[in-house]
Copies of this chain bind each other. A is one copy, B any other.
Amino acid sequence: MPDTLISVDLSRPATENENLHNRWHPDIPIAVWVEPGADFLVETVDWTGGAIKNDDSADDIRDVDLSTVHYLSGPIGVKGAEPGDLLVVDILDAGPLKGHEWGFNGFFAKKNGGGFLTDHFPLAQKSVWNFDGMFTRSRHIPGVSFGGLIHPGLIGTLPSKAMLETWNARELGLIATNPTRVPPLANPPFAKTAHLGRLKGEAKEKVAAEGARTVPPREHGGNCDIKDLSRGSKIYFPVYVPGAGLSMGDMHFSQGDGEITFCGAIEMFGAWLHIKVELIKEGMSKYGIKNPIFKPSPITPNYKDYLIFEGISVDEEGKQYYLDANVAYRQACLNAIEYLKKFGYSGAQAYSILGTAPVQGHFSGVVDIPNSCATLWIPTEIFDFDINPSAAGPTKYLDGSIDMPIAQDV
């Protein structure tokens, strides 16, 4: 049995765990070192560090302090890794921590982070998903169940000093274009809630002031939220610092392409990963790598019968955009939600299904001026009833008696 290199205690605050951190910085101390070729276990807390409960209120979603996320396990140092190498990571397996077989999905309030459809769903809502072995189901969203494609929403290597400076410069530049926007354009470094492993005192203060926030995906991987980085996949990460410094967290039991609900996928309350690491020396230049590349798992859900929704870059008010894939994908999502409502789902439930189920989102056409065309693929097999169109029209399978908890803004 492989060793557990990083453990978590879900009954204690994440900030007390010296093997967790919630910022990116080259000076975060390596938590543990391994040899290339090693395989080992890593435990993780949920991205909020335990702020969200398995209950029927969305108040915790509304009130979450987003400056604290994401609590990551690591960094793990790989001996011999040098800048310019590729760190090859096999996710050999992953699962929930025993006794914690559940996760949550939610939409943040528009005032506190929002989401892809925040104009349509401006209030905090939550759904809780129980794991039945390989499958999941939510007491807040009847009639749907699916196999999990467990993956880290966030996994990446430590940035170099130069890389960190690039990140901070470009993101602060963007924020400066509209610094009071709600939700904000990006998140600047924020020292107060930084947690940096075992770093203390002055050293911590310096890193806390500079450390990049963990929300966006960047050149090192990070919060890519790619549902296909699932157990069985193999990822090739750029290395920027000696030892690489691999950290991971934000474990998802399942997610739809885009993680449109933002909070987030099905966020696992506690999870473990079985990881193997190897190196390709000078792999970045050998293969011309700027961002991570990866290979999907050979073991994935075989959902095959999809109902596919198109969206174009004309928004719901009829406004024409120029080849804007975001607008197109948003329309495809809204079209799917309207469709699912015909079977009895509330809009929030349909939105949550798109954020959690193994839904695909494709760039279908990106050049046909002025309309980008995006497609959203819903596997029909995940529903307890038939959602295909027919001459008879849809049947309302759900009576509306069950809905997702909602929290009014305060």
Binding site for B on A (CB under 8 A): 1, 39, 86, 88, 90-93, 98-101, 115-116, 132-135, 147, 166, 170-171, 173-174, 183-187, 215-219, 221, 223-228, 231-232, 236, 257-262, 274, 276, 278-283, 286-312, 314, 318-326, 329, 331-332, 335, 338-339, 341-342, 360-375, 377, 381, 386, 388-391, 393-394
Contact = CB atoms under 8 A, between A and B. Distances in A.
A301 B299 CA distance: 4
A287 B368 contact: no
Nearest to A362: B257
A79 B315 CA distance: 33
30 contacts: A92-B133, A92-B134, A132-B274, A133-B274, A134-B232, A134-B297, A170-B314, A170-B320, A173-B320, A184-B369, A185-B322, A216-B312, A223-B368, A224-B310, A224-B373, A225-B368, A226-B310, A227-B364, A257-B362, A258-B363, A258-B364, A258-B366, A282-B393, A288-B335, A291-B335, A293-B310, A294-B310, A299-B301, A300-B302, A329-B363
Given A147-B232, A186-B322, A224-B373, 15 more contacts: A185-B322, A186-B320, A186-B370, A217-B365, A218-B314, A224-B365, A258-B364, A258-B367, A260-B366, A280-B389, A288-B335, A293-B308, A295-B305, A302-B302, A325-B329
B133 A338 contact: no
B303 A300 contact: no
A217, A224, A228: which has the most chain B beta carbons within 10 Å? A217
B364 A226 contact: yes
B325 A367 contact: no
Contacts of A100: 1
Given A170-B318, A322-B185, A225 B286 contact: no
A257 B325 CA distance: 12
A296 B286 contact: no
A261 B279 CA distance: 35
Contact of A364 (B147, B257, B321, B375): B257
A166, A296, A375: which has the most chain B beta carbons within 10 Å? A375
A88 B302 CA distance: 22
A364 B224 contact: yes
Report, nearest first, the 7 A-B pairs whose CB atoms are least far apart: A92-B133, A93-B133, A225-B365, A216-B371, A288-B338, A361-B363, A170-B320
A217 B312 contact: yes
Contacts of A101: 1
A326 B372 contact: yes
Contacts of A262: 367
A366 to B, nearest CB: 4
